[in-house]
Each structure stands twice: as C-alpha cells, then as structure tokens.
Amino acid sequence: MSQFNLTKLLEKPTAPSQNYIGVYDDEGKELEYFDPWEPFTLLYGSYSSEFDDMAIRVLTDIQNGRFDNHSLADEMFREMLCNLDFCTYGTSPRTCFPNGDFNNLLPKYIQKWKEYYKVQWDEEYDATDPASEHKTPEGVS
C-alpha cells in the first residue's frame, strides 16, 4: 500500500457546507475535513464537478469489477490510482484492480466522496448522468 494513509483520511468528517472546503483558520492551518483529492498531491480535482463525477464512476467500476468506461480521463485516473499503489494493473483485461487494503476501504471511500460531492456541488451524485452529458458552460462552443 502507498505511503498515503487512506484510513486516516476516511476518519475525517465531511464538511458541513461548501464554505468549509479548502478553508484555513486564523493561524493558516487548513480545517480538517474529508477531501477525496488529498492523496493526489499533484492536482486538485474539485474545480469541476466532472472531475468528481469521473472519479466516483471509475472507483465504482473498480469496486464492481467492471471496466466499461474507457475515456482518456478514466484511464488517467486509473493510472493515478496505480501510482499511489491503491491498485495494480492486470494483464487481461489490461486495467487496474484494487490492492488488498484499498479494496477493503473502497466502499467507504466512494460513499464519503459522494457525501463530499453533495456538499461541494449542492446536488446528489447521479450515476445516470455521465460526465459526457454535462452541459457546456455558457459562452463556450
């Protein structure tokens, strides 16, 4: 398993509202709320609901042993999970499979990410609304 302690992350509470996500106290210390992107130190995915949507979808596919989504974003996220040693790539099918500890923590990680999604985007995660169906922002063609 990677150096990142996913168990410790999952113990953090969900922020009570969006106003508490990414907020620092008066001493410059970030408030301790669950942030699903914390293991991914090179990027912060919650600038768009599409990032969170894709991550939940891929994690759910991994949990269910499905490999239906093969967009570039899905593949890159799987690669990131493997780089964290949360998953290992198989040979057939050529996709990632959860490692032992991560496999056990995956249901709770998905559930906490959905709770985070609800707070961050003020809506329930909807598995029937794939990222490809998100609306294009106004003024963008």
Per-residue pLDDT tens over the stretch 84-106: 999 998 776 677 899 989 999 99
- What is the predicted pLDDT for the residue at 124? 92
Query: H helices of the chain, where?
Result: 6-11, 49-64, 72-83, 100-121
Element of type H or E holding 34: none
Instruction: Inform me whether the pLDDT recorded for 7 exceeds 90.
Output: yes
- What is the predicted pLDDT for the residue at 100? 86
Q: Which residues contact 73 (CB under 8 A, 6 or more apart)?
A: 54, 131
pTM reported for the whole predicted model: 0.83
How much is the average pLDDT of 19-41?
86
Q: Is 76 in contact with 94 (CB distance < 8 Å)?
A: no
Degrees (nearest 5) of the Cα angle 51, 20, 49?
15
CB neighbour class for 47 (10 Å; exposed up to 12, middle 13-18, buried from 19): exposed
d(CA 62, CA 106) in angstroms, rounded, equals 9
Q: Is 106 in contact with 96 (CB distance < 8 Å)?
A: no
Q: Which two tokens stand for residue 91?
A: 């040979």
- H and E: helices and strands count for the chain: 4, 2
Number of C-beta neighbours around residue 77 at 10 A: 22
